[in-house]
Structure formats: structure tokens, C-alpha cells
Amino acid sequence: MKLEQIAPKLPLEKYEENFADLNPLLTPQQALIAASRCLYCFDAPCIVACPTRIDVPSFIRKISTGNLTGSARVILSANVLGESCGRVCPTEVLCEGACVLNGTGERPVEIGRLQRYAVDYAVSRGFNPLRAGTPNGQRVACIGSGPASLACAAELAGRGYAVEIFDRNAAPGGLNTYGIAAYKSRAEDSLREVRLVENVGVRIHQGVEVTGDPRIVEGRESKVEGTASAMVDGSRSAIQREPSTEGAASTFDLQPSTFNLQQAPSRIALSELESQYDAIFIGVGLGETWDLQLPGEGLRGVCGAMEFIERTKSRPFAGIDVGRRVAVIGAGNTAVDVVTAARRLGAEAVYMIYRRGEDSMPAFAYEYELAKQDGVIFLWNTQPLAILGHEGAVTGLQCARTRLEGRGRFARVDIEPGSNFVLEVDMIVKALGQQPMTEFLRSIPGIELRSGRVVVDSATHQTANPKYFAGGDCVNGGREVVDAVAEGMAAARGIDAWLGHELTVDS
């Protein structure tokens, strides 16, 4: 991306400082003090507030008694991505928001950080409480390797299924690897968790896109011999995937180059999966960022939020060009991730542009705080009208002020006549949310979509085509990692029940 003006590069150590862990790993002493604040409530509200129902008081008590591997066991058996969740969950609105200490006017227990502490302690010492179940001879394929699929796969492996995951990306983990803000979690943190799942015998095939009809692709029949892995291993392998028992040693090559597919992913057709597997889990997440539908959208310097953030997760920071002046359109959590990343990469002026008012901002309050601390300039009640350019590159964004009829997020937005102005920028990032994977989802026979979301049974996560189950962003329209995990687990139980085993749905 050739920009009109690139923000000057920062000294290398400045990048690391800017993207340093927002909430660093607790020291043992901090952890002990934080854990000792937990009241060990009975029937605790924090458990109910967690979509994966982690037994929070129990794992925190185990931290204070020094039983850290036991603590990690409690966490990981409820949520295999417990460490990521400890880093990236919006705990203020989940467990910590429910902590009874809020009721006394005290700060809540730092549940998220304690969760990360316990899992980090155990996993960095090679401890993995998850065990593969006795093989039951049945096979399940998961499409996508994001949080939803990983959770589903780990749960199924624990119940004795042979599970294989197919993902078109170069590295596994979905948005947990490519999407989460770098100051919350790095790609290698996500990959360490993926290894936990691999260690229970789940096979992950990276660089393989699952396609709908036509079922013969690119002139080559995607014939799967024996296991699908045979085909995958033969085609390309950007990353090695021998399961490792040493938590510390990385089995993935974390060189940034391998993070971006050097070649197009190979493909496997749904019909192949159907013939090979007893059930299929759809965890494909969401797709590209919505377009602005504005003139000038094709100019150099206009990009989608996902593309921009993916770069911050898969390349050295110094290698990422950012404009001197950047406009980010949208005010959700993803938009916050973009503005903060742009600032931290050295952009001098970063504008967040939102057509409604501050009170309608969809981002969480603490995310907004982050953006404020980073010196982002907020343009509320501002509607972009056109993107201006010079010799094919962005030079500005034409905007107008808006007037709202009614209150809140559903108020009608009108343009204030004569309020047009031009914001001089070198880069524009679209952060209007992600589109559903409608095209792919439509190609799955018999499944029902509503507003692009896969319709599932709320308990079993089974779709209208009984062989297919689904969970995560493609079902809930885009929520959090922890929701994807919870839905993946629910689907695993649903699959288990459907394939003739007893349904064990947690209350």
C-alpha cells in the first residue's frame, strides 16, 4: 500500500513499548494478593456471568492454596482458551462486572488476570490437563480454526472423537491469532493455546479452504485419500504441526513470513468432508469488512479494519506503513483497535469518525478510554461522503455534520445542510463491522441463514441440516472469544448427543 504520506518510523524499542502488554502477567506476589481478595463465594455470580461457566472461586482458591496446576485444570476444562480469555475478555461486563465486591464499593477481584496467571504458570511448565478420550471410532471435521472450532474440537477429542480442523489461513487460531489487539495478546500467545488442543490429538490442517459447490475445484479433484491430512501434507505446509508436550517450545514457525500465505490455500470440498466425517462443525467466523459504498473507495490508502489489524499481528511493527493522518470510520471495538494501533505505530493524527453521538458509541467504555488515552481525535456526528485522492492515493475525506432525529443508536441520521468539510488524511480504515460469509454458508445444503447468521438450536447448536453444527461469530453475528468458546463447547456436546451418546448439557 503506497500512501500519500507515511508516518515516520519509530525507534524499534518504541514499538515494543507502545504494544507492550496492557495488563502484564501478575507476579507471584501480586497473584497471591489478588487471589486473597476473592471471597470464595458459594454459587458465585461471576460463574454465571462467564459464558463458559468457569468455576471462578474454585480456581482462585487454588491459586491461594498454591495448587496452580489444579487451578489451570479448573479453567481449561471449562474453557480451553482460558488464557486468551484472561487476556482479552471484556471482564468489566462479564465476570468482574458480576463480582460481589462491586456491591461494597470495592474494586472487583482481578479475575481475568488471575486466570491468565494460573494457566500461564501451568502451561509454561508443560502441564496440559486435557486428555484425549478413549477413541469411539467417530470422526468430526471443524471448518475454521478460530476459538469456536478449537473449543469444539478439544471437547470432542476429550470424548473420544477423531477431530480434524481445516483452516484457510497460514496459522491457526482465527481472529484470536490475527484479530486481537497486539497489546492484549500476540499471535504466539494464541498459538501456544492451539498447541494444547493439538496435544489432545486434534489435527489441524492449515492453508486449506473448504469450498462449497462446484465440488470439483481448479481442475484438480480434491480427492482425499485415507485422511484429509494426506492431501494437505502433500500440498503445502507453512507451519509444522507435530504435537509438542513441551509448553515452551514452539512447534509453529513464528517467522512473520509464514503468517501470510505465500500461495493460495489448497482446497477441499464440503462434499468430501461430508463423506469422510460423521458430523461437521462450522466455525468460519465472519468475513471482510463492510464497504463504505463511497466514491473513491478504490484509492490507495483505503483499507479494511481486518486487513490492517491482521498486519499488526503478522508482521514486525516497523514494517507496517501507516499514514501520517489516518481516518477510521466506525466507533465499535474494532474501530478502537484500529485507532490505537495506528497511533501506536506512529500516526500523528488519528480521527475516529462516527455519524452518531458519543453516547451511542458501540465500543465498550474501557475501550473508549483506551482510545482517549492514545490521543485519538473523535469526530462525532460526522458522516463521510466521499474519499478524495491524488494520483490514485488518498488525500482527504469529505464529510458532513449530522443531525439526529430521536435518541440513541436507532435515531434517524440527517445531514446538516452546508456543513461539508474536508479532512486531510493519507489513510482511511473502514471499521463498519464484518460481513457474514454468506456465499460459503449458502453453499451448505439445507442450512438456514437469518441476516447472514447460521440458525442453530440454542442448546445443541445443530443447524437445519442435522449433520452440521455451528458456533461462534458465524452464529452470533460477532461477539467475543469467550462466546465462541462457549458455543463451540455446546456444539461438541450437541454432536456427541446426536451421534448417540448421552446429552450432558450444563445447567
Ligand X SMILES: Cc1cc2nc3c(=O)[nH]c(=O)nc-3n(C[C@H](O)[C@H](O)[C@H](O)COP(=O)(O)OP(=O)(O)OC[C@H]3O[C@@H](n4cnc5c(N)ncnc54)[C@H](O)[C@@H]3O)c2cc1C
Q: How far apart are CA 136 and CA 438, in angstroms?
A: 34
**67 makes contact with another protein (CB under 8 A):** yes
419 touches another protein (CB under 8 A): no
Would you tell me how many other CB atoms lie within 10 Å of the CB of residue 465? 16
Residue 102, Cβ density class (10 Å: 0-12 exposed, 13-18 middle, ≥19 buried): middle
Q: Which residue among 1, 22, 53, 58 contacts another protein (CB under 8 A)?
A: 58
Tell me how far apart the alpha carbons of residues 160 and 99 are, in angstroms, rounded to a whole number: 36
Question: Per-residue x/- marks for ligand X, 367-396, CB under 6 A?
Answer: ------------------------------
Q: Please state, in angstroms and rounded to a whole number, the distance separating the CA atoms of residues 251 and 268.
A: 25
User: Which segment (214-222, 370-378, 460-468, 478-486) binds ligand X by CB under 6 A?
Assistant: 478-486
Contact characters 70-109, another protein, x per CB under 8 A: x--x------------------------------------
> Is the bond leading into 214 cis (omega within 30 degrees of zero)?
yes
Residues 70-89 close enough to bind ligand X by CB under 6 A: 88-89
* 281-314 burial code (b ≥16 CB/10 A, e <16): bbbbbbbebeebebebeebbbbbbbbebbbbbbb
CB 293 within 8 A of CB 284: no
Interaction of residue 140 with ligand X, rule CB under 6 A: no
Site string for ligand X, 185-214 (x = CB under 6 A): ------------------------xx----
Least distance CB 267 / ligand X (angstroms): 8
The reply on whether position 337 binds ligand X by CB under 6 A is yes
- Say whether residue 215 binds ligand X (CB under 6 A): no
Residue 40: which of ligand X, another protein, none does it interact with, CB under 5 to 8 A by kind?
A: another protein
Q: Quote the distance between the C-alpha of residue 306 and its chain's center.
A: 11
Q: Is 42 in the site for another protein (CB under 8 A)?
A: yes
What minimum distance in Å lies between the beta carbon of 67 and another protein?
Answer: 4
CA dist., res. 322 & res. 394, Å (int): 12
Name the grid cell of 204.
489441524
Which of these, 68, 67, 41, 36, lies nearest to 55 by C-alpha position?
Answer: 41
Total residues at the site for ligand X (CB under 6 A)?
Answer: 37
The interface region with another protein, picked from 68-76, 180-188, 291-299, 439-447 by CB under 8 A, is: 68-76
Residue 146, binding choice from another protein, ligand X, none, Cβ under 5 to 8 Å by partner class: ligand X
Instruction: Name which of another protein, ligand X, none residue 29 binds, using a CB cut-off of 5 to 8 Å depending on partner kind.
Output: another protein
Segment contacting ligand X (CB under 6 A): 109-117, 421-429, 457-465, 467-475? 467-475
- Residue 378 in 3-state DSSP? strand
Could you tell me if 440 and 434 are in contact, meaning their C-beta atoms sit under 8 angstroms apart?
no
62 binds, among ligand X, another protein, none (CB under 5 to 8 A by kind): another protein
Whole-angstrom distance, CA of residue 100 vs CA of residue 47: 12
Closer CB to ligand X, 207 or 346, in the complex: 207
Burial class (CB in 10 A: 0-12, 13-18, 19+), 242: exposed
Q: How many CB atoms lie within 10 A of CB 212?
A: 15
Residue ranges in contact with another protein by CB under 8 A: 27-29, 32, 36-37, 40, 42, 58, 61-62, 65-67, 69-70, 73
Q: Which residues bind ligand X (CB under 6 A)?
A: 88-89, 143-149, 166-169, 174-176, 179-180, 184, 209-210, 283-285, 309, 334, 337, 437, 440, 472-474, 479-482, 484
